[in-house]
Structures are given as C-alpha cells and as structure tokens.
Structure 1
Amino acid sequence: MELVKPEIGLVFWTTISFLILLFILGKFAWKPILGAITDRERFIEDALLKAEAAKEEMSRLTTENDALLKQARAERDVILHEAKKVKDQIISDAKEAAHTEGARMIEMARVEINNQKAIAMADVKNQVASLSLEIAEKVLKLQLADQEKQDELVSQLLKEVKL
C-alpha cells in the first residue's frame, strides 16, 4: 500500500529529482533536440518547396516539350509539303521533257519519212521515165520498121501540129 499512498518524503525527493532532471534536460538536451526539430522542419519545408519547384519545372518542361513537338510536327508537315511540290515539279518537268523529246523525234521521223518519200518518188519517176522511154523506143522501132507506117505517122503528126 505504500505505493498507492506515498509518503511525503518520497513525493519530495521524487519532485526534486524530476526538477533536477528537468533542469539538466532543459540545459543540455532540449536546445539540441529543439534545434534538431527546427532543422528537420526547415529541411521538410525546403524539400516541399523543392518538390513544388520541381513539379512546376516539370509542368513547364512538359509545356515546352509539347510546344516543341507541335513546332516539329509543323516543320515536318512543311518539309513534306515542299518535298511533294518538288517531286510533282520534277515529274512534271520530266513529262514535259519526254513530251518535247517525243515531239522532236516524231518531227524528225516525219522529215525523214518525207525525205525518203521524195527520194523514192524521184526514183520511181526516173524508173517510170526510163521504162516509158524504153517502151516508146520499142514501140517506135516496131512502128517505124515499116516505111508505110512511118509515112502515116508523119502525116498524122503534121495534122496535129497547127501553125
């Protein structure tokens, strides 16, 4: 029962011991403990501020990244559009050059055909003239072989000639 109802001396010495312990703790331990707690609070606040700054920086970087992606896509679209224009121009130029070259070759072929045709016509005319002369010569030889036919031919020619 002593512990339930302590004597006055026990209470006195316990109080004195507690006050001495409180004084020693206040003098030597609480300042470092409170300093450590304050430092810890500052560290946590700094960490929170840094985390918030990092979050804002990440948000800013994300926004910049999105803007750069949009710009890169726009530049890519412009480059692809220009490349398509250049491709179409090259194809158009090639078609035009092929058309021009084809027309030139057709014209050259037409001129060559006309030249060959003229040469062939001249050759045919020469052959026809040659054959005509040969035929006329043979016909005249046959007709002029007889004196009577010669006289008849001369008189017919004289009738046709009008003075």
Structure 2
Amino acid sequence: MELVTPGIGLIVWQAVAFIIVLLILRAFAWNPIMSALRTREGLIEDSLKAAENAKAEMEQVKLDNEYLLQEAKIERDKLLQEASVIANKIKEDAKKETSVITDKMIADAKSSIESEKKAALAEVKNLVAELSLEISEKLLREKLSDDKSQKALIDKFLKEVKVN
C-alpha cells in the first residue's frame, strides 16, 4: 500500500517545490499576464466605447441623411414645378408667336390677293378696251365702205360736237 499512499517527506518536498514554482511564476509570469489582461480589458472597453460612439454617429448621420433627402425631395419638387411653369410659359409664348405669324401671313396673303385682283381687273379692262376698239374699227370699216355713209357719219359727229 505504500505505492498508493505517499510518504510525509514526499508531500512536504512536493509542497515546497510547488510553493517555489508558485513564487517564481508569480514573480515572472503572473504580473506580466495580469498586466496584459488589464491592457486587453482596457482595449476591449475602449473598442466598446468607440463602437457605441460610432453607432451614435451612424444614427446622427442617418438622421442627417434623412433630413438632406427630405430637403432634396422638396428642392426637386420645387424645380419640377418651376420647370412646368416655364414649359407652360414657353408653350403660351409659342402659341402667341404662331398666332401673330399666322395673322401676318393671312394679311400678306389678302394684300397679295387684292393686288393680283386689281392687276387682273386692269388687264381685263385693257382687254375689253382693245376688243371694243377692234370691234368698233371693224364695224366702222364695214359701215363706212361707201362715200354716202362716210358723209352721213361726219355730219352726225359734227352735230354732236356742236351740241356738247
């Protein structure tokens, strides 16, 4: 049973060795490990604070973006409304200008028609006068082919000249 139960001397030497190892570990390993853990804990806390700050900043940026988006929508609606007003004004101006041009074209066409009409009437009058002269000339030649009718016509003209 000696194998299963250790002796008192062995237990004492093991306890002394354990305490020495514990003191050496405490002197050389425990403090650096603890300081590394404290440093890591501080880094983790700083990272958590930075994450919270980033989250708050993101919320603020999100609110700012929503505000800017609303302003952009209002500005867009305003610009669209102004563009619509300008387009309607341009349409109205174009209609007015077209109306003025159309009226001018109609007036020009009427004056052109009137001048053509006057020219045609003058030409018709000239043609009628020429035809009348030709007909009169033919009639007079035919009637005045003999001497008797020539004397009668001359007498008639002389009587008319005296009367007037």
| TM-score strictly above 0.5 | yes
Distance 1:60 1:117 in 2: 84
Partner of 2:20: 20
Partner of 1:41: 41
Q: Which sections of structure 1, spanning at least 5 residues, go unmatched? A: none
Say whether 1:51 aligns with 2:51.
Answer: yes
What displacement does 1:132 show?
4.7
Partner of 1:10: 10
What displacement does 1:48 show?
1.5
Partner of 2:109: 109
Q: Does the residue aligned with 1:100 lie in a helix, a strand or coil? A: helix
Task: Give the count of matched residue pairs.
Answer: 156
Distance 2:12 2:93 in 1: 114
What displacement does 1:102 show?
1.3
Distance 1:141 1:17 in 2: 174
Which deviations, in whole Å up to 9, do the C-alpha atoms of 1:105-156 show, x marking residues without a partner? 1101101211221232233334445545665676678778877xx69xx7xx
Distance 1:76 1:3 in 2: 93
Stretch of structure 1 that moved more, 18-27 or 134-143: 134-143
Give the letter for the 2:27 counterpart: K
Give the letter for the 1:112 counterpart: S
Residues 64, 3 of structure 1: alpha-carbon distance in 2 compared, 3 angstrom cutoff: farther
Q: Does the residue aligned with 2:5 lie in a helix, a strand or coil? A: coil
What displacement does 1:101 show?
0.8
Distance 1:40 1:34 in 2: 10
Distance 2:3 2:130 in 1: 165
TM-score (normalizing by structure 2): 0.69
RMSD of aligned C-alpha atoms? 3.5
Could you tell me the percent identity over the aligned residues?
Answer: 45
TM-score (normalizing by structure 1): 0.70
Stretch of structure 1 that moved more, 4-13 or 40-49: 4-13
What displacement does 1:21 show?
2.3
Q: Which sections of structure 2, spanning at least 5 residues, go unmatched? A: none
Distance 1:115 1:3 in 2: 148
